[in-house]
Structure 1
């Protein structure tokens, strides 16, 4: 019997979970709960709705675990499933136009463990990026979030958003161009700015 710990690989946890292992299910839920909740808050500022929808998803996964397929990326599967469920939940409540407006207006907040830049000397960059991200169009903001704060590949983002990988790359390039135009270049931030874009290009 496989011993489940916080270090167990996602693929092993997923297979054990599909076989009915409660410890594997609990570890997966614990491992990705915060990530999924933060992603849900990209769609609505209502924490209660995001939490309730996430709980519904986790219950659904457990009840239908025997019908789940293998997946190359558990994180991608969960993000895709949650995205579909929360959009489905929100549409009857607010209508598609209001949902889009919520996405445009909602401030993207990143937890410390999700931040790309951890070094103290780059704290100013992180704050600048966080502020400027709110000025990007909604699709650019979501793609940047999924790529650089959730670590998804262009192919995975394309599958998640139902667009081609090349379209993902194009959106990223437009987002970076927009950020460059908005960035308040000063001598103190110049080096960090170009280092940041060298990392993500």
Structure 2
């Protein structure tokens, strides 16, 4: 079995003109970019347009790109900038959304009916809890826990200080913890 190259290897190969590495890199990130872009607009076509524009831009300028210790960070930063550039002409017409509720957990087929019902209830509740967070907190939670970016990378991406990222994460987690405890208590009372 051929091992999958890591992002660093793909990034290096892409910068040297390897089309296969470029395709593999964007296969890994395409759905993540769509998911992230839908946090800012409900118009999936605009998100996909931004991704396509980014792909073209990166390919055309690959020889001028620097090496990076974190291709994930670089690509998310580049995508975010491209998305905002794509959305700018529509700012008066396009309704920018807050984070949309998405499935956060997959329920396996082997779970019994009770586990599946509890998982659906939990999934709905977590999505609902995330929806109640302010947009900046949702964005930081998404970048930190769903995309694995470090606080320093998030700070740079959002043009804020790393301490601000830590503060935002702390407030978001405290809010989620508070609501989650209430949910668990009510679930126990209801016998779920």
* Matching of residues 9-20 of structure 1 within 5 Å: 9-20=6-17
- TM value normalised by structure 2: 0.82
Q: Report deviation, 1:90.
A: 1.1
Residue in 1 that maps onto 2:96: 102
Task: In structure 2, list runs of 5 or more residues that go unmatched.
Answer: none
Q: Report deviation, 1:111.
A: 6.0
**1:132-186 CA deviation, whole Å, 9 max, x = no partner?**
1111100001001111111111111111101111100100111112223333333
Larger radius of gyration: 2
Q: Determine if contact 2:42/2:97 at 8 Å carries over to the other structure.
A: no
- TM value normalised by structure 1: 0.79
Is the partner of 1:109 in helix, strand or coil?
A: coil
Aligned partners of 1:174 and 1:68: how far apart in 2?
36
Aligned partners of 1:110 and 1:152: how far apart in 2?
20
Is the partner of 1:186 in helix, strand or coil?
A: helix
Q: Determine if contact 1:42/1:108 at 8 Å carries over to the other structure.
A: no
Q: Report deviation, 1:22.
A: 0.5
Q: Determine if contact 2:144/2:151 at 8 Å carries over to the other structure.
A: yes
The one of 179, 183, 186 equivalent to 1:185 is 183
Aligned partners of 2:7 and 2:79: how far apart in 1?
17
2:51 is equivalent to residue 57 of structure 1: no
Q: Report deviation, 1:6.
A: 6.8
- Across the aligned residues of Structure 1 and Structure 2, the Cα RMSD in angstroms comes to 2.5
Task: In structure 1, list runs of 5 or more residues that go unmatched.
Answer: 191-201
Aligned partners of 2:105 and 2:183: how far apart in 1?
25
| Count of residue correspondences | 178
Aligned partners of 1:154 and 1:189: how far apart in 2?
34
Aligned partners of 2:56 and 2:105: how far apart in 1?
28
Residue in 1 that maps onto 2:73: 76
Residue in 2 that maps onto 1:193: none
